[in-house]
Structure 1
Amino acid sequence: MIIEIIKWVFNLIQYYEYAIVVYILMSWLPGARESGLGRFLGKIVEPYLSMFRFIPPIAMIDFSPIVAIIALNFARSGLLHLVNLFL
């Protein structure tokens, strides 16, 4: 039972990373963020990305989404290590 929950959490984190990548790519397309999908992804992804917006853009490139994805990967690997300790 606990293994299925852990797999579900890992999959949820992976899908969230995909949502962040799609949201980032939509910023390159004019008007894509104003579409229904863009607004939906914005409601899901922006609260998390806003925690990393303190990182200033370098040469007009925003690195905060990359740092956000790396933080998710650290969280997933930390969760994996915790699971390995207790199982």
Structure 2
Amino acid sequence: MVSIYTTCLVLYALISWFPGGYQSKFGQFLTKLCDPYLRFFDRFNLSFGGVSFNIVVAIFVLQIIERVLLRILLGY
């Protein structure tokens, strides 16, 4: 499930390269899906040189949470 959401986050980032990408039906769907999670990272000001690293950090945190939960559930 985490890999599917990670793919959605990557697609959300890539769609910004296309003019009007967020206004398409697919873009609107990804925005509704990804924005609530990404808004959490907005408060940390993760922009450097005009480039936002919110999605990179969000994916990294998501991967860490997945690994921690798997270790807890599997008893490692």
- Superposed CA offset, 1:21-52 (max 9, x none): 00000011110110000000000000000000
Quote how far apart the aligned CAs of 1:84 are.
Answer: 1.9
Q: Calculate percent identity across the aligned residue pairs.
A: 32
Higher Rg of the two aligned structures: 1
TM-score (norm 1): 0.81
Larger RCO (CA under 8 A, 6+ residues apart): 2
Any stretches of 5+ residues in structure 2 without a counterpart? none
In structure 1, the partner of 2:63 is: 73
The count of corresponding residues between Structure 1 and Structure 2 is 75
In structure 1, the partner of 2:52 is: 62
- Mapping 1:1-87, distance limit 5 Å: 12-56=1-45, 57-85=47-75
- The structure richer in strand per residue is 2
Structure-1 separation of matches of 2:75 and 2:18? 45
Quote how far apart the aligned CAs of 1:58 are.
Answer: 0.5
Structure-1 separation of matches of 2:11 and 2:19? 14
Quote how far apart the aligned CAs of 1:55 are.
Answer: 3.0
Matched to 1:72, the amino acid is: L
Structure-2 separation of matches of 1:24 and 1:77? 23
Any stretches of 5+ residues in structure 1 without a counterpart? 1-11
Structure-1 separation of matches of 2:54 and 2:43? 8
